[in-house]
Amino acid sequence: DPVASLEHVTVAYGATKALDDLTLDIASGEIIGVIGESGAGKSTLLALLDAAQHPTSGRVRILGTDPAALRDREIRELRRRIGMVFQGFNLLSNRTVRQNVALPLKLQRAVDPQHVESLLDYVGLADRADHYPAQLSGGQQQRVAIARALVTRPGLLLADEPTSALDTRTTEGILQLLSDARRDFGTTVVLVTHELEAVGAICDRVAVLERGVLQRVFPVVRADYGR
Ligand code: ADP
Ligand code: ADP
């Protein structure tokens, strides 16, 4: 079964259609890129996949359920199974690296210090566990954010322009980390980006959005990463 699927989904704001009759399956274990200009509907698509928003019409299924049919508490439970990574990292500045990574587990009363340590190690920041975000580079902060997103073993990882604030070298490392997570944990990744190199580097498929319309979905032939 797909991890998520959208069937004839439209999201309308008055006369504006942020998404217009979009049909798309996201397969388990794939990395799918989503590209499109500003206003194309990328954020709206992520909000649907994060069960933060419902479509005006059409059907959405995420991790086996229809969010529109869930109660608020069930929506919160579903959203705990979805990891999010943002352009601006969104770390808590008054918490250490370790506390940031541990937070999702703490909120679920599923504290697992060993798992937290192993993820800090996985993203290469075990020696920075007691530092605060401001003491880290942008790339290191994004690694913390990815560790935090992975700590709940999410069935779906949504990455919203995760490398747009980073330089080229750092970008490569972050893309490699997302690709590794898919390889090592089977994590399904939706990568929204305006950076075509990112798409070519790690994605299996790319969806092209234009003014709310899914213009095409094409496979990516990859040269190096992700094997
Ligand atoms: P992108 O993330 O690709 O820039 P968005 O999903 O943010 O695109 O927006 C798609 C379209 O929907 C745009 O025309 C935007 O102005 C419109 N839109 C998005 N959110 C709202 C909203 N809350 N109210 C009105 N229009 C919106
Ligand atoms: P183990 O059975 O020892 O946990 P795994 O191969 O399942 O071995 O995991 C190796 C490491 O990766 C462990 O530290 C585990 O906590 C972590 N891990 C496993 N699955 C995931 C996942 N889906 N997301 C994030 N981390 C994971």
What does the DSSP 8-state code read for residue 30?
-
111: which residues sit within 8 A by CB, 6+ positions away? 102, 105
Q: In what order do the strands lie in the sheet with 31-35?
A: 82-86, 156-160, 189-192, 31-35, 205-210, 213-219
Instruction: Tell me the pLDDT tens digit for each residue of 127-156.
Output: 999 999 999 999 999 999 999 999 999 999
**What phi and psi values does residue 146 have, to the nearest 5 degrees?**
-70, -40
Cα–Cα distance, 133 to 187 (Å, whole number):
25
ipTM of the complex: 0.80
Cα–Cα distance, 50 to 221 (Å, whole number):
28
Using a 6 Å cutoff on CB, does residue 150 contact ligand 2? Answer: yes
- Residue from 35, 42, 44 to probe ligand 1 pocket by mutation (most atoms less than 8 Å from CB): 44
- Given a contact cutoff of 8 angstroms between Cβ atoms, the answer to whether 32 and 203 are in contact is yes
Using a 6 Å cutoff on CB, does residue 137 contact ligand 2? Answer: no
- Given a contact cutoff of 8 angstroms between Cβ atoms, the answer to whether 60 and 4 are in contact is yes
Residue located nearest, by CA, to atom 5 of ligand 1:
41
Instruction: Tell me the pLDDT tens digit for each residue of 159-203.
Output: 999 999 999 999 999 999 999 999 999 999 999 998 888 898 999
